[in-house]
Structure 1
């Protein structure tokens, strides 16, 4: 099982891991990337395990600074994580792993799709205007890269078996990124397909094209998380 999970982790697109790592190095904290497609949330990549835990809480519960930032298309700054109202589960997780301040910077990708770059620091009030301006630059570059990937020509129509495997791969990706169940992942895809007025296969293809280097290389969900 560990080998299969490691394989999945390796195949989640390296450009996302590289980008979030660059942000963390540039700004001197931790960082995470969240993508929202018509209400379907994906914790796409994180610079470290602490940021990943916070991002997974947001993605599972559908609430937190990155989601608020994408909904408003405006930065959300949390100068002191343990204080304030709202996002109780996210605040508890961030406090537990040692974060004292956070900021989420959004950028539009395409119609109905946006991305948020969420920053974390162990220092209260760490995210000043200069740091936020640099985060904006990273977020815009990331949005442009994702938009370019989504603009690639889609796969030619194939049979029902290929469509089922593609759906399983997309569910596996969402389970891995969000730390959620198969049912939660399928619900997110259904929400996205309904909002975008596309079928599940098209919604699954969008997830795979945005998040993976080669969507055909993913194993079916049954191999990723047996028994779910």
Structure 2
């Protein structure tokens, strides 16, 4: 198996690495904006996109509380209505959300969805936590490398504010499968929440997610 090189790769390889039959997705939080970043299947992606746009779900709570959230019975879950409805429609029986601290303004959460009623034994939970920390470390390294590259080439710093913001909006649209208006709202909300410029948020999103568009 090739070494993962992007968030999409990490999501795709999660089932084989963990050794359990799951579908995986990765949610990314930067400057308070929750973005569906990668997934191993369309079904997992749809669940995470609903969660990110609603601002409510197990991954959101996992990142808020920095603790693992285990959903033992999706259909019986009383919280997270939009996410639960989508997960039931996709045929998922159980799920877990595992947070990973990247540092700075970024946190990730790995969502693992199962159609099996009881896949989460102690070994599976421990493996999921370890894998999430590996993904968080990869994101941290990616951001550090992107910052060094930008210092050398000025790729993002030489962009006008308008170009950087529009490219970030396009990236959010691609990863979240949402409209330009919704993507702009996500970016604006992140800037307002953290009291930083839209340009700063846009640059960070581009450094992290531009390679995930494909």
| Shorter-chain TM-score tier | 0.7 to 0.9
Residue correspondence of structure 1 range 158-197 to structure 2 within 5 A: 158=158, 160=160, 163-197=161-195
Residues of 1 paired with 2:49 and 2:103: CA distance? 23
Runs of 4+ with >3 A deviation: 154-157
1:107/1:140 contact within 8 Å kept:
yes
1:39/1:188 contact within 8 Å kept:
no
Residue of structure 2 in register with 1:3 after alignment: none
- State the Cα distance separating 1:131 from its structure 2 match: 0.8
Which moved further from structure 2: 165-174 or 63-72? 165-174
Residues of 1 paired with 2:212 and 2:98: CA distance? 28
- State the Cα distance separating 1:173 from its structure 2 match: 1.2
Residue correspondence of structure 1 range 44-59 to structure 2 within 5 A: 44-59=37-52
For the pair 1:209 / 2:207, whether they are aligned, the reply is yes
Instruction: Please give the per-residue CA displacement for 1:71-100, whole angstroms capped at 9, x wherever unaligned.
Output: 000000001100021111111111111100
Q: CA RMSD for the aligned pairs?
A: 2.0
- State the Cα distance separating 1:186 from its structure 2 match: 1.2
For the pair 1:17 / 2:16, whether they are aligned, the reply is no
Which moved further from structure 2: 114-123 or 194-203? 194-203
Residue correspondence of structure 1 range 1-228 to structure 2 within 5 A: 15-26=6-17, 27-151=20-144, 152-153=147-148, 154=150, 156=154, 157-158=157-158, 160=160, 163-213=161-211
Residues of 1 paired with 2:102 and 2:15: CA distance? 21
- State the Cα distance separating 1:214 from its structure 2 match: 9.3
Which moved further from structure 2: 123-132 or 50-59? 123-132
Unaligned runs of 5+ in 2: none
CA 1:168–1:81: 2 relative to 1, 3 Å: same
1:40/1:188 contact within 8 Å kept:
yes
